[in-house]
Chain A
């Protein structure tokens, strides 16, 4: 029985970690190209979670439709955010901190839009979305939302790897991650690369928003979960998407484990200690792709 419990917790941790990984990779993608922490990603995530919610309640779409609506909404919102908050600063060659300030402002702005349109209360996706709630295997009970999250995340990362490694756009994004100026000198349209990075990151954000909304609950503050992406991408060693994804899964597992053992109050304290110890031992992050600030 005990091992069944542990197995269940591991599944829960993995599925939470999968959502964190989606958030973190979308977050890290913008960091790689433009080199700033894009907290507006949380706002994108929140808007698309609510778009999926509307699709599920008002239009009664099936699960696949809800997920697709979320992804589409994420992409559109991310592009709008890029136009409103970042484009002007980028064209003026403003310093990186301005991006940071506008991105946090965008997060707050999108959150307020959600509060104004939906009220500050908690919502949840309709139960009809999933036909079966849990699968029983002898003495194991696995919730379908966890499995769904895991499967969808794996598919999404598969597609992402294909896009980044094989397609022209993906290669351009990876080149821009290396050096934006050199990329533009090679005759690549940087504006297009930036927009496509925002589209891909927005799609990941939309997906993670819908998945998180289905597995947990929905509130206008849902966007603040972007900090998990922030933690994972710094610990993973900004610059390496694989490292970021691994760090996110580890974060999900650790969180589920801590909450089930010492409760949700003390777990941030333990996570803080782990963070400090980790940074002292391995300041270059999980993957070890480190780059200097200057020089």
Chain B
């Protein structure tokens, strides 16, 4: 596989996890500092199923998603009814616990040395189709009744509750879906890089995804996808040193949040209508308004 294909495949897979964060943080206003841990779960569980137990890839991914759903439901049950700070805190604790377990269970996971010899199953086609399906799914979810309710909860939880929306159920479903996105991305990533280690899935990774969502604009799916592609590609493009590239990355994000708080794209979406509107003569646009 050529260098560019390898890099773009990894970016496509990570973007799936970012889409999970988009649903959770962008649409529902919840901050999870343990999203990366779900990615780690997906990666480790599916890799162990394939390497140690010889299961086929789809079954392994299904098992990892099943475990993710159970754990996400557990975390959600404990925290989604109380204040939001607690959700951030407990997802953080959950992430640390997962990393601790992965490091501790040396016999199964290889501990801090990582788990290697994973077969390379993730083809470019699988990765890009998965990303496309994920984008379509999130787009549909946002248009649906359920997605509108989520946005209402984000804007004003109390008002949403009064309007008869089951806030707890909504948050729970979104949290589980976003965790599944992360786990699925983790599984694809494991079968791409062929090596996983616990340190990849710390809270800083979860935070990076939140930053990406805000960079592109949390009201814009287009912005999130483009933001994910740009920001995930940046460390690869700016290759002089990792520290300098992260530094530049941080400065750009500070500028964007300060100067354009709603993100690079605001609420703009890439649709047929917005495109034709963009290229219409000026007078026609004014008439439409």
- Residues of chain A touching chain B, judged by Cβ–Cβ distance below 8 Å, are 37, 39, 84-85, 88-89, 92, 94-95, 97-98, 100-102, 104-106, 108-109, 112-113, 115-116, 120, 224, 227, 230-231, 234-235, 238, 263-269, 271-273, 275-276, 279-280, 283, 293-295
* Contact flag A106-B254 (CB < 8 Å), given A101-B214, A265-B103, A280-B78: yes
| B232-288, CB < 8 A from A | 241, 243-244, 246-247, 250-251, 253-254, 257-258, 261
Residues of A within 8 A of B207 (CB): 39, 104, 108
Q: How far is the CA of A227 from the CA of B103 in the complex (A)?
A: 20
With an 8 A cutoff between CB atoms, is B204 at the interface? yes
Q: List 20 A-B contacts (CB under 8 A).
A: A37-B88, A85-B258, A95-B261, A98-B261, A104-B207, A104-B210, A105-B250, A105-B254, A112-B250, A120-B243, A227-B203, A234-B85, A234-B86, A234-B89, A235-B89, A268-B99, A269-B97, A273-B97, A279-B79, A280-B78
* Contact flag A102-B254 (CB < 8 Å), given A263-B104, A279-B79: yes
Q: How far is the CA of A104 from the CA of B250 in the complex (A)?
A: 9
The contact of A293 among B84, B101, B261, by CB within 8 Å, is B84
- Residues of chain B touching chain A, judged by Cβ–Cβ distance below 8 Å, are 29, 31, 78-79, 82-86, 88-90, 92-94, 96-97, 99-101, 103-104, 156-158, 203-204, 207, 210-211, 214, 241, 243-244, 246-247, 250-251, 253-254, 257-258, 261
- Contact between chains at A283 and B250 (CB < 8 Å): no
Main secondary structure of the interface of A (DSSP, over half): helix
Q: How far is the CA of A283 from the CA of B78 in the complex (A)?
A: 10
- Contact between chains at B157 and A279 (CB < 8 Å): no
* Contact flag A88-B258 (CB < 8 Å), given A105-B250, A293-B83: yes
Residues of A within 8 A of B82 (CB): 279, 283
CB proximity of A185 to chain B, nearest CB, Å? 25
Q: How far is the CA of A115 from the CA of B243 in the complex (A)?
A: 7
Q: How far is the CA of A53 from the CA of B247 in the complex (A)?
A: 23
Q: How far is the CA of A272 from the CA of B98 in the complex (A)?
A: 10
Q: How far is the CA of A35 from the CA of B189 in the complex (A)?
A: 37
* Contact flag A109-B250 (CB < 8 Å), given A104-B207, A275-B93: yes
CB proximity of B74 to chain A, nearest CB, Å? 9
Residues of A within 8 A of B247 (CB): 109, 112-113, 116
- Contact between chains at A85 and B261 (CB < 8 Å): no
Residues of B within 8 A of A227 (CB): 92, 203
Residues of A within 8 A of B101 (CB): 265-266, 269
Given A108-B250, A227-B203, A234-B85, 6 more pairs with CB closer than 8 A: A97-B29, A105-B211, A112-B244, A112-B247, A269-B100, A294-B156
The contact of B93 among A95, A224, A268, by CB within 8 Å, is A268
- Contact between chains at A279 and B78 (CB < 8 Å): yes
Report the nearest A residue to B214, measured CB to CB.
Answer: A101
- Contact between chains at A238 and B96 (CB < 8 Å): no
* Contact flag A283-B83 (CB < 8 Å), given A37-B88, A115-B243, A295-B158: yes
